[in-house]
Copies of this chain bind each other. A is one copy, B any other.
Amino acid sequence: MNGFELRKERKRESIRHAAMELFGTYGFGKVSIKDIARKAGVSHVTIYNHFNSKEELVNDVVRTEIERLVEKSREIIDSESDFLEKMNLIRFSKVGLASRYNGEVMKAAINNSPETYEYIDKLWREKINKLLVELIEEGRRKGYISSDISQEAMLLYFDMIRAGAFASVETLDRIKIDAKLADDLNRLFLYGLIDKKD
């Protein structure tokens, strides 16, 4: 990347950043291109020069965000920690990543145009789920996870928990603040609602 392209990429990044924050706070639908332009300190037409439409900007922002999440998860999975430890880290890493605006971004993404949703969903499955499958496989190999529950169900379960946690910023905030609550939830996630007696 020469100086030219570097400057260009820097401007793109600053637009993306402004967009990300606004999308996170107000949702995709409520944020206008002009809002983003104002926050990024450029003309709104400049946004069209760099990204071709609002939809492309949204896609770009979301892709970037997911890639960051993938990177983080990758590190955890490839680390030397124990399986249960990784499981916690993954879930906490997500939660950790999900600072105020992250949760909102995902939440908004879910509710966007069908096309955008398809796009995000595909990305998610290709990248995040691939990582989770690896983790689950490790769990099975090490005997933590019973093999009579399908991988599909586990992925879905993971997804549901994740979507549930991300559905409300308030939820995330409560989890982050209240350690006992986080611990309880983790236990429910790992060992279920029912008290196995005997």
Interface residues of A (CB under 8 A from B): 27, 29-30, 84, 87, 107-108, 110-111, 113, 121, 139, 143-146, 149-150, 152-154, 156-157, 159-165, 167-168, 171, 174, 180-181, 184-185, 187-198
Contact = CB atoms under 8 A, between A and B. Distances in A.
A152 B164 contact: no
Q: How many copies, total?
A: 4
A145 B27 contact: no
Contacts of A143: 195, 197
Contact of A171 (B145, B159, B194): B159
B157 A193 contact: yes
Nearest to A30: B29
A144 B143 CA distance: 26
Nearest to A110: B167
A192 B197 contact: no
Contacts of A107: 110-111
Contact of A153 (B145, B162, B185): B185
B188 A154 contact: yes
Nearest to A111: B111
Given A164-B163, A194-B144, A195-B144, A157 B111 contact: no
Contacts of A197: 143
B168 A163 contact: yes
Contact of A188 (B87, B153, B184, B195): B153
A139 B156 CA distance: 26
B191 A191 contact: yes
